[in-house]
Amino acid sequence: MRVTTLDAAAIHAEVLSRINSAPQLFERTAVCIDLGELEQVPVASEIRTVMDAVKRAGMLPVALARGNEIVDALARELDLPVVAQVRAVSKQSAEMQPKAEPAKPTPTMDLDSQGALAQLHHQPVRSGQRVYARNRDLVVTAAVGAGAEVMADGCVHVYGTLRGRALAGARGEITARVFCHEFNAELVSIAGVFRVFETIPKELAGKPVQAWLSGDDLHFARIGNP
């Protein structure tokens, strides 16, 4: 979560609005706080106030994004870890970073990629499951249920209904795409830029769809003839 103000009330309202837009996705999500956009150098007490505002809204601050020596000193004073900064997201997600994605569900199937062009998954991906293809594409020949997550460093192909979350280009590959046979997704992300769907556009609901990244914007279009 990129913080642009130390106004606790404004932060609380923004986080609460984001959670209300997709409570199953964002409620009690672990977030990393990025202080890089602040004009003034904060002190530990101000960051504690920010963290409290985020927590009261329903998310769980767990770390600071790595920055300069000041951030490292703040992290030590607050007894928090620092993590590598993540890529900025699209306009649809305002100032929220993809580091604020939901905590990874279990079980996780994380397979190596030596010599393989794509990882094939032939079983339905059910709620709470996460399938990840490292350094390659992921091809799912069954449905991805609500609350499930399919993720790849390359493209994600779902030859069935996509009701859960699909994340392509997980390590920053901006040319990755998401393809699905039936589009009813909760969330689509490419190279860290994501969009949450509370209501699927009528022209895309249940249709074959592809998603791709252009600049900092996600684009969606039907595959094949209307």
In this predicted model, what pLDDT tens digit does every residue of 25-79 receive, in sequence order?
A: 567 777 888 888 888 878 999 999 999 999 998 888 888 876 678 888 888 898 8
Q: Examine domains 8-100 and 108-222 and report if their fold is the same.
A: no
Does the domain at residues 8-100 carry the CATH identifier 3.30.70.260?
yes
**CATH tag for 108-222 (out of 3.40.50.720, 3.40.640.10, 3.50.50.60, 2.160.20.70):** 2.160.20.70
pLDDT tens-digit map of 172-195: 899 999 999 999 999 999 988 888
Residue 110 pairs in a beta bridge with 132
Q: Record the pTM.
A: 0.56
Per 3-state DSSP, what percentage of the chain is helix, strand, and coil (rounded to 5)? 20, 30, 45
Residue 101 clears pLDDT 90, i.e. is over it: no
